[in-house]
Structure 1
Amino acid sequence: MRLPLLFRPCSHVFQAFFGHFPVFRHKLLSRAAALPHLSTLRKTMHYQIEERGSPNTTEYRIYFKNSDGNYISPFHDIPLIAEKEQGNDMPAKKAKRNNSEVLFNMVVEVPRWSNAKMEIATEEPLNPIKQDVKKGKLRYVANIFPHKGYIWNYGAIPQTWEDPNHVDSETKCCGDNDPIDVCDIGMQVCTPGQVIQVKVLGILAMIDEGEMDWKVIAINAEDPDAEILNDIDDVRKSRPGHLEATVDWFRKYKVPDGKPENQFGFNAQFQDKDFAVEIIKSTHEHWRALVRDQTKCGGIERKNVSCCDSPFICNDKEATDLIQSAPAFGCKHSVPSEVDKWHFV
């Protein structure tokens, strides 16, 4: 059956994803830096990021461009599944790997060991990354002993959406209205806006203030340990304490802000890779309905440049005009000293 235009030019990958699982893998490209007079531009894999506004301010944004230099939405226009580089619309070549698997794209929002709560701005056109704001102040996660900031590279899987209209059959909670979150446990410390390919290992069912907030556990496909980590049990065996630390972090990270501890489904037990992939597939289907205007949007900005079945598609000029109106890139502001405080909870 012919797949809808929404999924092209990578339709063969989605066909594989919803059927059998061949190997797809990108070679990560090193990021190059350039400094136009109004913004900064960095290359990450097939994508460039353009910074606007001053870092550590409420105006700061990270916008995304594709390899042709056109603005895109990291939420809607970066594919769910990572393909190996190809040309002339030919099928992707299999990577030189022994095991069959699908690799997923991950948009890094927060690097490991950092505190700024950066996130895809789901309610802004073309969904740049920005720092979350609460009561007019930039949000930083607290350092809860013995952790420093985030303990993994933290980000989102594009083209997924935790639908607030959908009730999870196990936890009876609705989605949190965001792309599905992912924790990369690889050794590389990434940068905000970096796009990496990850191997899914498992998932944690966190319940955040009554909302379903899945946390996918994954590893950068280029990490030296990626070959030996194939499921959540491999993490448990080879990295003692890592999963327990992850639960502890998610349970307590809001406590210094006066919030109660977060709760978990499945008695805070990690579910395996197959379970995680099914959740990703489900949230991808919810995203498909979102960009096709087949469900309530929950305030989500659905403007995109590549989803051909979407009524919210815009052209390159519209996208460019939108971003060019943003403030010019400026000097980095200082971070409040209390961000370095250590909390004992």
Structure 2
Amino acid sequence: MKLLSTFTIALLINGIIAADKFTTRSVGAPNTVDYRVYFENNGQVISPFHDIPLFANEEKTIYNMVVEIPRWTNAKNEINKETSLNPIMMDVKNGRPRFVTNIFPHRGYIWNYGAFPQTWEDPNHISKCTQKKGDNDPIDVIEIGSNVATVGEVKQVKIVGIVGLIDQAETDWKVVVIDVEDTYADRINDIDDVGKYMPCYLEATNSFFTNYKLPAGDKKNSIAFKGKPQGKDFATKIVLETHEYWKALVNGTTKADKIQKINLTVKDSPFLTDPNNYTITSVPVDNPLPPAPIPKEIDHWYFLSGDKITNPVRKEARDV
């Protein structure tokens, strides 16, 4: 019989953790492959993937969002599935930290970008909406509120819609949300309200996701439903589906050997771990460092005109 610590029992009884208890433990310099952002609850290291609850209230109408990439920034940070306790780390491509390039008129990400904890887009599942498999990540979230967030911030948000991105032949849902404390939160309750109060934002969102990989030489992405974002009810249904896929993952029903499933709070999970486990206690202490310089070429704009993308500074011009 596995004995649970007082910490774990308290979390399981409470079920929903107040977000103001979450703090982060930063290791390494931002913008480098050594960068790590671990998560804590009352000083105890936890997994943002598995231990932060999806729901932020008992009515299950408000959700916890983990911010990975603040608006206007380019560093491709994400919850790392393959590392124990799933810290936020920089995505790496060809051995180098990955940054999203700027395609005029956008500068970095145009929303606060992140993920819903306790969700998973199961790659074994073929979506009836897109006819594509899931992308094997927690479901992505774009927060459209007024404030620029920080890496590792846990926001309480409400769902207003969803964009059905098909990214390199995978289903990659983008849930449109707004911080419940935002100035517009009382007015934006469904996807049509976004167009009403934030004209052209959804059109810019489609443009971003369709084209953002072109500078790296990839093909254009596509948007399901003929490019039309779907509303709150449909979005909520998709999120709840991914929550069920996550449950099957973390309780061992669905096998995914490369994903780290160690957690401190998920009752009946075979991966439930005591806080005194070496994996937990060996996490480095908080040691924030100044950000490393971003490569100068990341600040250069690419220009898209018809079927051609150009970068005047780098003297690039090619068809897409």
Q: Same fold (TM over 0.5)?
A: yes
Match of 1:9 among 13, 32, 53: 13
Query: Is contact 2:67-2:153 (8 Å) kept?
Result: yes
Which of residues 26, 30, 33 in structure 2 aligns to 1:58?
33
Contact 1:59 1:327 in 2 (8 A): no
Counterpart among 241, 247, 262 of residue 303 in structure 1: 262
Deviation digits for residues 119-156 of structure 1 (CA, Å, limit 9, x no counterpart): 00011100000110100111000111000000000000
Structure 1 counterpart of 2:162, one-letter code:
I
Unaligned segments of structure 1, at least 5 residues: 14-24, 27-43, 84-91, 93-99
Alignment of 1:252-263 (within 5 A): 252-263=211-222
* Counterpart Cα distance in 2 of 1:271 and 1:332: 37
1:132 corresponds, among 91, 100, 114, to 91
Does structure 2 retain, via aligned residues, the 8 Å contact 1:164–1:298?
A: no
**1:253-309 C-alpha deviation (Å, 9 max, x unpaired):** 000000011012111111110000000000000000000000121621101111021
**Greater strand fraction, Structure 1 or Structure 2:** 2
Match of 2:283 in 1: 323
CA deviation string 1:82-139 (max 9, x = no partner): 03xxxxxxxx6xxxxxxx8701100000000000000000111000001101001110
Matched with 1:97 is: none
Counterpart of 1:310 in structure 2: which amino acid?
S
**How far apart, CA to CA, are the structure 2 residues paired with 1:286 and 1:202?**
20
1:327 is displaced (CA, Å) by 9.5
TM-score by length of 2: 0.88
Q: Cα deviations across residues 51-88 of structure 1 (Å, max 9, x unaligned)?
A: 0122221111000000x2100000000000003xxxxx
Separation in structure 2 between the aligned mates of residue 49 and residue 75 of structure 1, nearest angstrom = 14
Shift of 1:328: 5.0
Matches within 5 A, 1:1-345: 8-10=12-14, 45-66=20-41, 68-83=42-57, 102-297=61-256, 299-318=258-277, 319-324=279-284, 329-345=288-304
What number of residue pairs does the alignment pair up?
294
Instruction: Specify the alignment match of 1:35 in structure 2.
Output: none
Letter in 2 for 1:213: D
Alpha-carbon contact 1:53-1:327 (below 8 Å) kept: no
Extract unaligned runs of 5+ from structure 2.
Answer: 1-8, 305-320
Deviates more, 1:268-277 or 1:312-321: 312-321
Give the deviation of 1:201 after TM superposition: 0.3
Q: What is the rounded CA distance, in whole Å, between the counterparts of 2:44 and 2:60 in structure 1?
A: 30
What SS does structure 2 have at the residue aligned with 1:344? strand
Percent of aligned pairs sharing the same letter? 48
